[in-house]
Every structure is written in structure tokens, then in C-alpha cells.
Amino acid sequence: MTIRSLSISLALSLPAALISSCGGTTSGDGATSQSTPPPVGSTSQAPDETIGPFAITDMGTFDEPWAAAFAPGTYTLFVTEKAGTMKFVDTATGRIGTVSGVPKVDYGGQGGLGDVAFLPSESSATLDRRTIYLTWVEAGDGDTRGAVLGRGELVCEQADACAIRGMNVIWRQEPKVTGRGHFSHRIAFSPDGKYLFLSSGERQKGSPAQDLSVNLGKVLRLNLDGSAAAGNPFADRGSPSDQIWSYGHRNLLGLHFDSAGRLWDLEHGPKGGDELNHVVRGENYGWPIVSDGVNYDGSPIPDHSTRPEFKAAAIGWTPVIAPGDFVFYDGKLWPEWTGDAIITGLATEAIIRVKMDGTSATEAARYKFGHRLREIEECPDGALWLLEDGDGGRLRKLTPSGR
């Protein structure tokens, strides 16, 4: 039975209270089955908890969840688990399904299965078939490893199971090195849908971030097939320099465009110096030459202010927030937050809300959750979906409290 046909029987057999999506209801007529958002602020059940402006409903648990993405046009959320498994949540029912065909990963430390992304141009109200991108860590020779980007086809022919077919590696970190940290490997598509931007961490080695002959410690601009895009600032230096958009980065765990088409990264500093950066073509962000933090052994690093030739962060944090990811909010449930950066904090165990004004940023609020927060996604209806870090990390739906 296909998802299209099953959507009809589910809509007829489930109680209405169980058919709420990110906050909405599902209606199906076979070929045009789709989720319909509810009136603003509606919820399907009493919240499990209230924290500040959030009414929180728990929607399941995952093993070391790392990233999540809604398939465009749907209310289905796909979640990666670091050890190399992947699941999806039908937010119309709360049902959790499995995804087969996930590539083998080199798991350990900060490495494993990473980001998941879908082409915005392939928006459809039903899952059926669509292109899927994943990042993960693969082993190299000896004790080396590096992040890779793969592209395949997601096929969903059953209600509780999807499969990835033809997943091929289309990009690799160069070179593979020892260690198990700072892979970064976050994906963002340009607003026009023509390019794929990718964060590539410096693998805890520092100096590669300033080396234009490698693609570590960089933000990269690629074609959708993983090749270097034309017009990159160092294209005349050959591969992999022709992939580079910006450099001097450390460990970038968030990468998103704002509503004005500006690219931003969310970056871990050392001991202090976490950053939200406006990412600009050809700019050098200074790592490891400058930072507003210090080394873990306490030895100093020159502050950004001492070297104005390096592009400084729009906002930084010392002590660190240890960011997981972020979104630029554009929903209707919290209209006063439109354009704000909503950030998950690992060390702070909090959501941090940052008010944006062009390329300026100011922290506006923190909401303490008491758990390490790894990932956040905005549902099409404006609800926020939050993933806790670690084993048994909860998936939590956030809607406005007091409504």
C-alpha cells in the first residue's frame, strides 16, 4: 500500500485529535493528500510542559539525534541519528517510521551521520520520490577520516518505511586527517535554488582554516551535483580551492540564509568566542589567528579587535553557548519574532533568541530548558520542533503558551 492510498484510511480511522500535524490536521483525497495547518495557536493535546513562551508537547525519542529537516511541501520531519540510522516522524499522527539505505558511517567522537536536506524546488504534498542530501563521516587510510556529502533518491512507498536509493558521494573533505572532531558538514541551499553551500570544519587542526589549498575550515559554494560552482573567489587556484566561498572558520554547526538572502553561520569558538557570522564571499574570519576566546589550556589568542583585516562576528558569546543549530523565524505563531535567529544551546541548555537588524545582532532572550539542545526546525505552520542531544533525546513540539 502506498502512502497516498494509506493517507485516506488513516484520515478515516484515526480520531481527529490524533490527526493534528505540526499543529494542524490532515485531509487526504489520494493523489493530492496533504497536511493543512490549523488556526494559529491551536494544539491537539494538553502540553507536557510550559517554559517561558513555549507550550511543549513531547513527540518521541531518538538515539543521539543530530539533524532534522521537513520534506518540502509536507509536515513529515526526517531525523538523523549520529550512529548511522535515520527516521521520520509523520506529524499528522505522531507515527515514527524508518529509513533504509543510509550509508555506512565512521562513528565516534563528533563524527557519524550528519545533516539531511531536500531540494526546495522539489516541494510536494506527498512524499513519493524526491532528491535527498546527507552528510556523514567516512573512514580513510589508517586512523584518518573526513566528512562527505552524498546525494540520492528518497523513495517512500510504505507508510512506516522509506528507502534511500542510489546514494553517491559527491564531495569530500580534503585531506582526511586524524581525530574525531570539527566536521561541521551543514548544508544550505541558496535562495534561488541553484547552489549548495556547505560548512567544512577545520578538524581541530587550526591552521587548515587559513590554507587555501585545502577545503577544511571553510564555507563552500557548490553546484547541486557537488562540483565547484563558477564564480567562487579562488577559482583560479584549482581544486579544491575553487570550492571555497569564505575561510578562517573553526567548527560551524549552523548555516542558513535569512529572508534578505544573506548567508549566516553559527560557529563554535575555543574556550569562549562562539560566533554568529554574516558569511561574505572571499572573506577571512580569522581562525586560528584571532578569536574572542582563549585556548583550552588557557593560553591567549589575540582578540578580533586587534586584527581588523579579519571579518568579525555580528555577535559572539563568552562564556560559550556551544550552539547546536538555528533558524531564522518567519512563522505566524510568534509574529513579534519575525526575522529573529532562534538558536539551540548545548552548554547553556537553552534556546537563545537573537534580534536581527540587517547585519547587526543583539541577544534578546534566553529560555532555559535544562537539557542539551541539538537541533531546531520550523514547521510550515510556524511551530518550532526541538531535538535534545544524546541518547534518548526527545523531539519536542513548541507552540505559544497561554493561548
Domains and CATH numbers, the chain: 3-31+54-400 (2.120.10.30)
The answer to whether the Cα torsion of 244, 245, 249, 255 is positive or negative is negative
Is the Cβ–Cβ distance between 70 and 130 less than 8 Å?
A: no
Q: Angle at CA 59, nearest 5°, toward 53 and 65?
A: 95
202, 195, 193, 150: which is closest to 171 by C-alpha? 150
What is the pLDDT at residue 275? 99
Give the pLDDT of residue 45: 66
pLDDT value, residue 93: 83
Question: Distance (Å, rounded) from C-alpha 135 to C-alpha 137?
Answer: 7
DSSP conformation class of 340: -
Edge-to-edge strands of the sheet including 323-328? 323-328, 341-345, 350-357, 360-368
What is the spatial distance between Cα 75 and Cα 44, in angstroms, rounded to a whole number?
A: 15
Please give the DSSP secondary-structure letter assigned to residue 4. Answer: H
The torsion angles phi and psi of 223, rounded to 5 degrees, stand at -75, 170
CB burial of residue 162 (10 Å; 0-12, 13-18, 19+): buried
Concatenate the DSSP letters of all residues of 300-335 into one string. ----GGG-TTSPPPSEEESS---EEEEEE---SSSG
pTM: 0.91
Look up residue 208 and give its three cell numbers: 587548515
Give the pLDDT confidence score for residue 29 in this predicted structure: 28
Compute the distance between CA of residue 250 and CA of residue 234 in angstroms, rounded to an integer: 19
Q: For each of the chain's 403 residues, which pLDDT tens digit applies?
A: 333 333 333 333 333 333 344 654 333 323 323 444 433 334 456 788 999 999 999 999 999 999 999 999 999 999 999 999 999 998 878 899 999 999 999 999 999 999 999 999 999 999 999 999 999 999 999 999 999 999 999 999 988 999 999 999 999 999 999 999 999 999 999 999 999 999 999 999 999 999 999 999 999 999 999 999 999 999 999 999 999 999 999 999 999 999 999 999 999 999 999 999 999 999 999 999 999 999 999 999 999 999 999 999 999 999 999 999 999 999 999 999 999 999 999 999 999 999 999 999 999 999 999 999 999 999 999 999 999 999 999 999 999 998 6
Angstrom distance (rounded) from CA 341 to CA 262 = 13
Residue 211 three-state SS: coil
The predicted structure's pLDDT at residue 92? 78
Q: What pLDDT, on a 0 to 100 scale, did the predictor assign at position 19? A: 33
Q: Which pLDDT score, from 0 to 100, does residue 8 have?
A: 31
